[in-house]
């Protein structure tokens, strides 16, 4: 389990000077040009126009003229799909899984293959603007442990799930039955606890209802309570998937209700992320809200797999918890800046083509989802307000004409659309500078 007290004592105290932009609320972007962002033992003390006297003894890291933003939070991605990102975008979800995804994931039985692929995934995550991520691995325990080791060494903060799947997958990937899937999960959890990672938490990861028998889901619910773990899965992504779930689980009122009946849908002591929710109707949304479930909106994936456009505006109006995910490799880009731009773009199409009563997301709202929205899964994360954990990214836009973007908000907007992941100069996670 993560020991946050230990993390904080390892973190430094310092001041960052730069052009600072962050969200206070979904419609409230704060910018301070030439501002001072103070970090004390891993937590933000706030942003100041003049450095208060009480912080004048702290070391100053001067990034004047550079943009400083909160680290971005990828609420849903698949590490073993990174190697085939950008390939196989011609199929819908269920065929895409069988044709491309399951054969690729089967390769992670081979630890040498897993090492090469996972090292590349972690390198990419470290170099971009993401500071925290919630990650699917595969069914394989050794490869999942390896991924956790690599992520722990990177300094990023992540949750990683060994995937559970005991039906409807090829023999070379599927676990034999519920019992062996549960035994492997417990072996993985015991090993993960024994290692005492500081930054890398296990998260229970039933792939989705079609992959998991009722017996498996029930056993995972027992493990969830015993180990007090968060949960992640997929929900209401694609029409054929949803029809299939209705056949597999005639007991359930809706797709989310299948997880609920199995004891794996949020509520006290069971923080849960459901990816996609493209076809979540108001009844399902009400259930997610009641159970305090996080929706991981994955716009790039929803476009590439022709899944549809999630009703994010409705989720926000309803006061639901929403963050953004890249969903590599349903989404081809691991960049969360790209995900922010895509969230705005698909919301415009939904407004134009589907629902003229749902105004598109603004850039500020999408940036909020990528920072505070997803960050709140960890608590006070994703902003520079006093008390928030200090996740910060310094971005370089020196070579772009500043005269055309004369406010910090417009400089941020441009870096979002230009996908400035390669422009990261420095990155801090919970107050610790991580090597790029
Ligand atoms: N549903 C079940 N598995 C997957 C996956 O790997 N990617 C996406 N996008 N949806 C899924
Ligand atoms: Fe996914």
Claim to verify: residue 280 and residue 410 sit in the same structural domain: no
Claim to verify: residue 143 and residue 15 sit in the same structural domain: no
Claim to verify: residue 263 and residue 225 sit in the same structural domain: yes
Claim to verify: residue 51 and residue 77 sit in the same structural domain: no
The tally of domains found in the chain comes to 2
The pLDDT assigned to 5 comes to: 47
Claim to verify: residue 302 and residue 426 sit in the same structural domain: no
324 backbone dihedrals φ, ψ, rounded to 5°: -115, 150
Claim to verify: residue 199 and residue 52 sit in the same structural domain: no
**CA separation (Å) from 245 to 238, 250, 251?**
11, 8, 10
Claim to verify: residue 44 and residue 184 sit in the same structural domain: no
Claim to verify: residue 409 and residue 421 sit in the same structural domain: yes
Peptide bond into 329 cis (omega under 30): yes
Confidence band for 404, pLDDT divided at 50, 70 and 90? confident
- Using a 10 angstrom Cβ sphere, with 0-12 exposed, 13-18 middle and 19 or more buried, the burial of residue 358 is middle
What predicted TM-score, i.e. pTM, was given to this entire model?
0.97
How confident is the prediction for the chain on average, in pLDDT? Answer: 96
Claim to verify: residue 204 and residue 343 sit in the same structural domain: yes
Q: What are the pLDDT digits (tens) for 17-62?
A: 999 999 999 999 999 999 999 999 999 999 999 999 999 999 999 9
Residue 6 pLDDT greater than 60, yes or no: no
What range does the domain containing 118 cover? 72-378
Q: What are the pLDDT digits (tens) for 174-190?
A: 999 999 999 999 999 99
Claim to verify: residue 338 and residue 408 sit in the same structural domain: no
Contact 129, 158 (CB under 8 A): no
Q: What are the pLDDT digits (tens) for 126-177?
A: 999 999 999 999 999 999 999 999 999 999 999 999 999 999 999 999 999 9
The pLDDT assigned to 1 comes to: 35
Residue 4 pLDDT greater than 50, yes or no: no
Claim to verify: residue 63 and residue 134 sit in the same structural domain: no
Ligand 1: which of 81, 89, 139, 208 to mutate, judged by most atoms within 8 Å of the beta carbon?
208
Residues flanking ligand 1, CB < 6 Å: 78, 93, 97, 101, 207-208, 234, 237, 301, 327, 330
The CATH number of whichever domain residue 191 belongs to comes to: 3.20.20.140
Work out which ligand 1 atom sits closest to the CA atom of 305. 9
The CATH number of whichever domain residue 59 belongs to comes to: 2.30.40.10
């Amino acid at each position: 389990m993560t020991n946050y007290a230990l993390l904080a004592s390892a973190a430094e105290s310092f001041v960052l000077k730069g052009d600072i932009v962050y969200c206070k609320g979904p419609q409230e972007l704060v910018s301070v040009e030439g501002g001072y962002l103070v970090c004390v033992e891993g937590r933000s003390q706030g942003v100041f126009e003049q450095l208060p006297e009480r912080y004048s003894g702290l070391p100053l890291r001067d990034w004047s003229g550079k943009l400083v933003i909160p680290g971005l939070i990828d609420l849903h991605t698949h590490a073993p799909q990174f190697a085939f990102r950008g390939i196989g975008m011609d199929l819908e979800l269920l065929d895409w899984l069988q044709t491309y995804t399951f054969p690729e994931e089967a390769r992670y039985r081979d630890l040498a293959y897993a090492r090469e692929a996972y090292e590349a995934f972690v390198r990419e995550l470290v170099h971009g603007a993401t500071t925290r991520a919630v990650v699917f691995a595969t069914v394989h325990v050794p490869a999942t442990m390896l991924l956790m080791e690599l992520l722990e060494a990177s300094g990023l903060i992540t949750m990683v799930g060994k995937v559970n799947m005991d039906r409807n997958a090829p023999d070379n990937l599927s676990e034999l039955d519920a019992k062996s899937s549960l035994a492997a999960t417990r072996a993985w959890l015991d090993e993960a606890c024994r290692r005492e990672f500081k930054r890398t938490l296990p998260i229970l990861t039933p792939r989705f209802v079609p992959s998991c028998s009722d017996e498996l889901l029930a056993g995972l619910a027992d493990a969830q309570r015993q180990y007090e773990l968060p949960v992640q899965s997929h929900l209401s992504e694609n029409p054929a998937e949803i029809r299939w779930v209705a056949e597999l689980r005639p007991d359930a009122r809706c797709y989310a209700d299948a997880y609920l009946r199995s004891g794996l849908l949020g509520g006290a002591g069971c923080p849960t992320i459901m990816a996609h929710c493209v076809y979540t109707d108001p009844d399902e949304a009400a259930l997610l809200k009641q159970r305090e479930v996080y929706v991981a909106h994955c716009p790039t994936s929803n476009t590439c797999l022709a899944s549809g456009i999630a009703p994010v505006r409705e989720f926000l109006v309803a006061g639901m918890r929403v963050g953004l995910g890249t969903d590599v490799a349903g989404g081809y880009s691991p960049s969360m800046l790209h995900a922010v731009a895509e969230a705005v773009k698909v919301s415009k199409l939904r407004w134009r083509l589907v629902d003229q009563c749902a105004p598109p997301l603004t850039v500020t709202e999408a940036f909020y989802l990528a920072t505070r929205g997803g960050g709140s899964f960890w608590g006070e994360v994703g902003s520079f307000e006093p008390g928030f954990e200090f996740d910060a990214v310094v971005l370089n836009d020196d070579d772009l004409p500043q005269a055309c973007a004369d406010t910090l908000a417009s400089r941020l907007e441009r870096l979002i659309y230009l996908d400035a992941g390669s422009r990261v100069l420095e990155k801090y996670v919970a107050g610790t500078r991580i090597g790029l």
